[in-house]
Structure 1
Amino acid sequence: MKMANDAISVRPIKPGEWQLYRDMRLCALRDSPDAFASTYEEEALRADQNWKARIISAFSSNHDHALFALNGSKICGLAWGKLSADTADIFQMWVSPTSRGLGAGRALLDELLAWAKRCGALRIRLGVMADATPAMHLYKAFGFLPDGDLEPLRKDSLLMSQSMVLELRPTLP
């Protein structure tokens, strides 16, 4: 197992980085097709303008928090938080195979939890493959608990996804 690395950092995706985001998202879908409800084939058809608009909208929004994880200066992962009422949802969480085990997933989750608390969210939700994967172990280590029944990952899929939730304590001013 790789040890935690001080070179891992997390930062918001900037509007001018939409191409980097697109490339990382497509890489994630190719690398881990069974981890996402979206497919590479669907996402690869998106026009560049759609990718650009998605990142510009997220950057200027109070409801989205799109993040890159970096290993030194190299982008090695991404995650997306979306706020809805008192709940923050996590989507698109992924770390490149060469940076797994270095703490990038933990760093992304730490930032998303801090963001959700700053926004006043009372809970964080996510979906994860129902198997005993490293992602499932990470979420359980953070205190996420199963929420509801297993559901197909996508329409007509035999792969099952587990919704998980983490209740947050409100922060006092």
Structure 2
Amino acid sequence: MISVRPAKPDEWQTYRDLRLRALLDSPDAFGSAHEAEATRSDAMWSSRVAETTSSAKDRLLLAFDHDTACGLIWCRLSDDEPAAAHLFQMWVDPATRGMGAGRALLHEAVSWAESVGARSVHLGVTAADTPAMRLYLACGFQPDGAAQPLREHSALMAQPMSLTLGTAAR
């Protein structure tokens, strides 16, 4: 059974472990690289989660398969455009893919964005016919602008996508 909830301040190790597994499992899906994040100190990971869980502008959501953490998504209200929210770091463990964790994470992220007054949600996804791209399209996200390099020195492209709230197929 899949459940999703906000991370707690003391769950920084769970977040760290999921994030590092995500970067190893799906290096072509993220703007950051495992090598860069693996060197971060425990204090940095702890601080990152503590700041997020006390912020009104951020929401870190974790997915669980029963009691085992199996996915994450980070949501943030835009500093430049308060009515816009951005989604980052979406990932589901390969062992639980196909069980609805991705859709559940996305649903909770979009619901949170709506609850804090966002009128649109934005994300970037590697430009390819992937399960992630198909999920975002199925949930109402649409391409929004030209693809851009995923990260410096990468041939991969990231497609910006957006969702006008109230139109999601959730």
- If the TM-score is normalised by the length of the shorter chain, which range does it land in? over 0.9
Aligned to 2:35: 41
Residue in structure 2 matching 1:153, options 133, 150, 155:
150
Unaligned runs of 5+ in 2: none
TM-score scaled to structure 2, two decimals?
0.95
Aligned to 1:106: 103
For the aligned residues, what is the CA RMSD? 1.0
TM-score scaled to structure 1, two decimals?
0.93
Aligned to 1:4: none
| C-alpha separation in 2, matches of 1:52 and 1:146 | 34
Aligned to 1:144: 141
- Which amino acid in the other structure matches residue 52 of structure 1? S
CA displacement, residues 99-147 of structure 1 (integer Å, 9 cap, x when unaligned): 0000000000110111010001010000001100000000000110001
Give, in angstroms, the shift of residue 47 of structure 1. Answer: 1.2
Give, in angstroms, the shift of residue 78 of structure 1. Answer: 0.6
Give, in angstroms, the shift of residue 148 of structure 1. Answer: 0.7
Unaligned runs of 5+ in 1: 1-6
Give, in angstroms, the shift of residue 155 of structure 1. Answer: 0.8
Residue in structure 2 matching 1:54, options 48, 56, 73:
48
| C-alpha separation in 1, matches of 2:108 and 2:13 | 23
- Which amino acid in the other structure matches residue 28 of structure 1? A
Q: Does 1:166 align with 2:160?
A: no
Give, in angstroms, the shift of residue 169 of structure 1. Answer: 3.6
- List 4+ stretches of structure 1 deviating above 3 A: none
| C-alpha separation in 2, matches of 1:54 and 1:17 | 11
